[in-house]
Structure 1
């Protein structure tokens, strides 16, 4: 059995937490997690840095909403610092492949790059 890697475990725990409705509705909570150099490409087609990522969720997630179902979760350390994180999500019938690169920040591992790509399960 392979040794446990705290960096990989932090990324594996961190990304599903960012998808939860409590975090996605709160610009303050969303603004805190990304790495200072964050850049993302969302499943919606939007792209941007830390500021647009923080502004979007306040209007995109309704109170009482359930978090997406997460599947096919993987993490691998690419070098001493970066961790590659992949997973699938399904929410209200919409399926998305998600990938991110997590890097060290002053207060722990944070997403540095994120991409979400919608897909049709019939084509997978």
Structure 2
């Protein structure tokens, strides 16, 4: 992986981890700074979300300092210049979900363009 690709992947990883931070999730303005205006998500429930609707759950307390998300097996690859794909497992309150995120570089920085969560039983 080239240095430029490594920096792009690291920037996306840093942004993804910020988005999972309880302090960021509690602030809609900070969440919106990380979401692309065209953001979409297919959640672990199968529900489709956009940037406006996702704000109703990001600050709901399911991710808190007392109940943080545990992230494992985070990896990323550059799909094209300015596009990074991340995959990882997220464990929160006994629920394990395989996550996939597409980040794209915009004039204002890295923004989450698409996210998908798939529930996983046990340690898959």
Same fold per superposition (TM over 0.5):
yes
Which of the pair is proportionally richer in strand? 2
Task: Point out 4+ residue stretches in structure 1 off by more than 6 angstroms.
Answer: none
Is 1:23 matched with 2:24? yes
Aligned-pair RMSD on alpha carbons? Answer: 1.8
Report the CA distance between 1:71 and its aligned residue: 0.5
Aligned partner of 1:65 in structure 2 is 66
Change (3 A) 1:21 1:81: same
Deviation at 1:18, TM superposition (A): 0.6
Q: Which runs of 5+ in 2 are unaligned?
A: none
Q: Partner of 1:76 in structure 2?
A: 77
Question: Which TM-score applies when normalising by structure 2?
Answer: 0.87
- How many Å separate the matches in 2 of 1:63 and 1:74? 24
Counterparts of residues 109-124 of structure 1 (less than 5 Å): 109-121=110-122, 124=124
What is the CA–CA distance in structure 2 between the aligned matches of 1:58 and 1:23, rounded to whole Å? 9
Q: How many residues matched? A: 122
Q: Displacement of 1:11 after TM fit?
A: 0.7
Mean Cα displacement is larger for which, 75-84 or 36-45?
Answer: 36-45
What does residue 36 of structure 2 align with?
A: 35
1:46 pairs with 2:47: yes
